[in-house]
Amino acid sequence: SQTIHQWPATLVQPVGSPLSLECTVEGTSNPNLYWYRQAAGRGLQLLFYSVGIGQISSEVPQNLSASRPQDRQFILSSKKLLLSDSGFYLCAWARQGGNQPQHFGDGTRLSIL
């Protein structure tokens, strides 16, 4: 069966520090991968998606970047965090081809001080 792992589960970082959040998927190959941010009590905002290794599409202009160095690894990064980067970050995967369910990890709660 397929599983998705995100870490860390929680993170507290000072303003201006770098960020690296990692997501890995097991049990499937060549998945579509997604990064979302969820503000408290709000919906899901798609940040990045990837349909293959090294292929990253950005949905909104922001202080963050994403990379996909391996087929089942998706990384969310920042060189300098802003207060506004606080939130709940979720990674998801789906089978290729569209019209497929996305399967989510349990997220990383990021607090910027």
Partner 1 sequence: GENVEQHPSTLSVQEGDSAVIKCTYSDSASNYFPWYKQELGKGPQLIIDIRSNVGEKKDQRIAVTLNKTAKHFSLHITETQPEDSAVYFCAASKGSNTGKLIFGQGTTLQVKP
Token couple for 18: 């770098």
Alpha carbons 38 and 107: distance in angstroms, whole number = 10
Token couple for 67: 């990379």
By DSSP bridging, strand 108-112 and strand 10-13 are parallel
Stretch touching partner 1 by CB under 8 A, among 13-21, 37-45, 66-74, 77-85: 37-45
Contact between 71 and partner 1 per CB under 8 A: no
Convert residues 74-103 into a mask of x (bound to partner 1 by CB under 8 A) and - (unbound): ----------------x-x-xxxxxxxxxx
Alpha carbons 40 and 82: distance in angstroms, whole number = 17
Nearer to partner 1 by Cβ, of 76 and 94: the residue is: 94
Question: Nearest approach, Cβ of 15 to partner 1 (angstroms)?
Answer: 24
**For residue 111, what is the enclosing H or E element?**
strand 108-112
Contacts with partner 1, residue ranges (CB under 8 A)? 6, 32, 34, 42-44, 46, 49, 51, 57, 90, 92, 94-107, 109
